Homo-oligomer: A and B are copies of this chain.
Amino acid sequence: MKDKLLLLGVLKQSEMHGYQLYDFIEQNLASCTTLKKPSAYFLLSKMEQEGLVQVVEQRIGNRPPRKVYRLTQAGERLFQQLLQENLSQFTPTVFPGDIGIAFLDQIPIEQGVRLLRKRLQKMQVHLAHLETIPPHRGSASLLIKHQIQHLHNEIQWLREVIADLQEAGNLPQAQKDNEFSHQDSSSN
A interface residue numbers (CB < 8 A to B): 2, 5-6, 9, 12-13, 29, 31-34, 71, 76, 79-80, 83-84, 86-107, 111-112, 115-116, 118-119, 122-123, 126, 138-140, 142-143, 145-147, 149-151, 153-154, 157, 161, 164, 188
Q: CA A138 – CA B9 in complex, angstroms? A: 45
How far does the Cβ of A73 sit from chain B's closest Cβ, in whole Å? 10
Number of copies: 2
How far does the Cβ of A166 sit from chain B's closest Cβ, in whole Å? 14
Q: Is the interface of A mostly helix, strand, loop or mixed?
A: helix
Residues of B near A103 (CB, < 8 A) are 5, 9, 12, 79, 83, 139
